[in-house]
Amino acid sequence: MAASIIDSSIFQGIFTTDAMRQVWSDENRTAKYVEIERALAIVQGRLGIIPQEAADEIVSHCRLEQIDLKRLREQTERIGYPVLGVVTQLNQLCRDKLGEYVHWGATTQDITDTATVLQIREALTLVDDELAAIAAALAKLAREHRLTPVIGRSNLQQAIPVTFGYKMAGILSAILRHRERLAQLRERVLVAEFAGAAGTLASIETGAMETQAGLCAELGLGQPLIAWHTIRDNIAETGALLGLIGGTLGKLSMDVKLMMQTEVGEVYEPYHHGRGSSSTMPQKRNPIASCYIHAQISVVRQHAAALMDAMVADHERSTGPWEIEWIVLPEAFCLIAGALKQARAVVEGLEIDVQAMRRNIEMTGGLVMSEAVMMGLAPYLGREHAHDLVYDLCRESLASRRPLVELLAEDPQIRAHVGRAELERMLEPANYLGQSGVMVDRVLARMAVRG
């Protein structure tokens, strides 16, 4: 029985991915606890902190299949934490009381935090893989539509032409920055925790720092400079990264939704028979993936804020804020995985109507090119006078519903300097794309360097 949309047998394929659910599953989390206890026994046996016989016996039982998960649930509900239940079970599996050396010098939060870091490592790999695929699809669109004119919009009103490649390259630039952030984040976040009751490792009289270093090396994690039991900026930063990624995916989905409107019709989500249809209106083609992205990333942002709340922890071991992470971190990763999956499907299969883009540019009868005309006339009339003159002619064009070129060509002040052919050149959208193509090339070059 599943109450969460992430675990729902109906919705889970929409809101997350099986791979990310596996990372944050009970089985994988418990496997991480066992992996850490195994690594700790290996290191402490090597250092002579525990008998080698005990280390070998502990290691022989550190397998997930030897942990009774039903019993672990009962132990966790009674104790309040799952780690002690795992330790108890491992202890009882060992012969001749050798299991008493399980978890030597560690505390519950050491194992819990380190397991979380191991899960984050796996989760970040999944996120980065999806970002790389989305970047590749955006780069393809940017390259193919480098000089494809589309109307730029400001305050939801038509502004001046840009190119569709320019729009895609803008989003691509953010995706590339997220990949950089993710790479930088790894060094700060992929750090183990092994510090004992209050973070001082007082429980290990000799070889404490050697144990910590060895454990970190065994797990392939960084060694902390100091305990971080209640210093949680690393986990909060992880949540902030997910929130930033979600914001960019939300920007993408917002533009797709707006460009899919019937009155616009410039792009469409990939078509599959029946997808986006209405139960009552057969003609509809709704933006399904973009709607899911919007919902997913909205919740991820709230979870990022909750992880910052969890930073406000008391003293050396906290009373409650820590558990916020247990609740929201897995869901944030699962939801961002779903949003990435939806966004990848959109950009890899996006349908583009170049004719509709041109039609929308021309729907105002040339008014969207008024800035180009003003700048073209400025050398003859002065910029301010050219602005006021073109402004008045735009108002007249709207009132009379006549194309702007006709009114421009009839104006005696303009006709004295510029002929109709030159006016038509000024009014051609392809001639007023600015540095769109150059900027696309710069982003693509950056991606080539980033790899």
Catalytically active residues are 278, 317
User: What is the Cα–Cα distance from 411 to 340, expressed in whole angstroms?
Assistant: 54
Q: Give the chain's end-to-end CA distance (angstroms, integer).
A: 43
At 36, give phi and psi (nearest 5°): -70, -45
Could you please report the per-residue DSSP string of 216-270?
HHHHT-BPPSS--TT--HHHHHHHHHHHHHHHHHHHHHHHHHHHTSTTT-SEEPP
User: What is the Cα–Cα distance from 444 to 129, expressed in whole angstroms?
Assistant: 18
Number of helices (H) and strands (E) in the chain: give both, helices first.
19, 4
Structure tokens that stand for 70 in this block: 């039903």
Pick the closest to residue 102 from 160, 37, 18, 31 (CA basis): 37
Beta bridge partners of 150: 162
> DSSP 3-state helix, strand, coil percentages of the chain (rounded to 5)?
65, 5, 30
Q: How many CA atoms lie within 13 A of 167 on its CB side?
A: 24
**Contact present, 125 and 110 (Cβ < 8 Å):** no
- CA dihedral 436→442→444→448, nearest 10 degrees, is 170
For residue 20, what are the contacts with CB-CB under 8 A and spacing of at least 6?
123, 126, 333, 334, 337, 338
User: What is the Cα–Cα distance from 219 to 191, expressed in whole angstroms?
Assistant: 10
**Contact present, 16 and 4 (Cβ < 8 Å):** no
Structure tokens that stand for 102 in this block: 């399980």
**Contact present, 371 and 361 (Cβ < 8 Å):** no
User: Beta-carbon neighbour count of residue 127 at 10 Å?
Assistant: 21
The DSSP symbol for 400 reads H
**At 67, is the secondary structure helix, strand, or coil?**
coil
Query: Quick one: CA dihedral 101, 102, 103, 108, positive or negative?
Result: negative
**Alpha-carbon distances, residue 44 vs 37, 181, 204, 212 (angstroms):** 10, 35, 10, 10
